[in-house]
Amino acid sequence: MTDDPKRVAMISVHTSPLEQPGTGDAGGLNVYVAETAKELARRGIEVDIFTRRTTGETPIVGELVPGVRVLHVTAGPYEGLPKEELPGQLCAFSAGIMQAGLSLPEDHYDVVHSHYWLAGQVGWLASDRWGVALVHTMHTMARVKNRHLAEGDRPEPRGREIGEVQVVEAADRLVANTEGEARELIELYAAPPRKVSVVPPGVDLTTFTPGDRKDARVALGLPVDGDLLLFVGRIQPLKAPDLLLHVAAELLRRDPERRRRLTVAVLGGPSGTGLARPHGLEELADELGIADVVRFVQPVQRPVLAQWYRAADLVLVPSHSESFGLVAIEAQACGTPVVAADVGGLPTAVGDAGILVEGHDARTWTDAVEALLVDEELRLELGRASIRHASGFGWDATTDRLLAVYQQAIHDRTHSPIAEGEGLVGVPRAVIP
């Protein structure tokens, strides 16, 4: 059998690549799955993406592009089921995948690629049932997130940690976004180094392109002159959008005249623990006395998102934890400088083309932002460096590396713990009475 895959089964239980990134549970994972699937299809590789059906109107089978099918599996109620409750539906989801596979030849798929730990649990079973290699991408990890919790945020449950450990053991190959994430897999999850491959995510270099800032502002109905600070992402404590508002308040405290020329835009929707206070940011803007300069914008399609990036003077990415940071690389591809937290994969995403800030002290962040706002030449220089940096992160390069991982997994496939005699998940058969 050749090591070149002809058909790939991707699994993304909790969010569909068809959903709008920036709200609910849709984010960088959605973009990653959709873009790599499309790139694989361009290479003549068929991709089936299995995801949970969340509305009765959603077709069972849809097409993302020719060669990429999205198969919606019914598992639990369509609406009102948060991600935290999805572990209880993994059996139903797995049964749905097995049912879908009954009509396929036994050797139909060459590799299973699961995304996020929930999908990894399902992928473990599917790869064993189909006798093919399992490749897994964590995207985020409980033990990492729990080390960098925002104040008042809820830690990830121990059940998720256990589930992630099991997936690490079961996978034939683990894909890490950065060298730092690879170290975390090895040090925090005891992943064998030989199983871990680094594959940086990409950016759509045909959509996220440089453009005229004033033209972008006109198109978006924004003031042509003045300073625009932008946050893009899901509204939840992990992403720290509140820091942007505190920075804006501090800027106005230092220079009240700046109010006439400052606009702060928060583009995204509530998600995760942020759903507990869906209007928390609006309330914070009122408390800080900056509601008049803040705009809250619902998630938009990517061509419009690119216009927002072009319109901004600076994009802030203040996350407490980030496996990579697609927002940062998208903004840079549009020529907009990024000020980001020095955490997780953001140093890789930002490189030397942006500013990294340690910690989440509002005054420290304000110092960095203010320095760039008053130095137009430095902003322009960083903008040019950003374009050069982002040019090396196209999805074609990501998919080339991903294909190499698939080939290695197919060639070196090991037996999963199920096949090696573990009758219960994580429990050797010898200890079962």
Q: Detail the residues annotated as belonging to a binding site for UDP-N-acetyl-alpha-D-glucosamine.
A: 20-21, 28, 234, 239, 300, 322, 330
Instruction: Please give the annotated binding residues for Mg(2+), written as ranges.
Output: 309-310, 312, 336
Instruction: Please give the annotated binding residues, written as ranges.
Output: 14, 20-21, 25-30, 83, 116, 140, 160, 234, 239, 300, 309-310, 312, 322, 330, 336
Q: Helix/strand/coil (H, E, C) string of the chain?
A: CCCCCCEEEEEECCCCCCCCCCCCCCCHHHHHHHHHHHHHHHCCCEEEEEEECCCCCCCCEEEEECCEEEEEECCCCCCCCCHHHHHHHHHHHHHHHHHHHCCCCCCCCCEEEEECHHHHHHHHHHHHHHCCEEEEECCCCHHHHHHCCCCCCCCCCHHHHHHHHHHHHHCCEEEECCHHHHHHHHHHHCCCHHHEEECCCCECCCCCCCCCHHHHHHHHCCCCCCEEEEEECCECHHHCHHHHHHHHHHHHHHCHHHHHHEEEEEECCECHHHHHCCCHHHHHHHHHCCHHHEEEECCCCHHHHHHHHHHCCEEEECCCCCCCCHHHHHHHHCCCCEEEECCCCHHHHHHHHCEEECCCCHHHHHHHHHHHHCCHHHHHHHHHHHHHHHCCCEHHHHHHHHHHHHHHHHHCCCCCCCCCCCCECCECHHHCC
Instruction: Please give the annotated binding residues for 1D-myo-inositol 3-phosphate, written as ranges.
Output: 14, 25-30, 83, 116, 140, 160
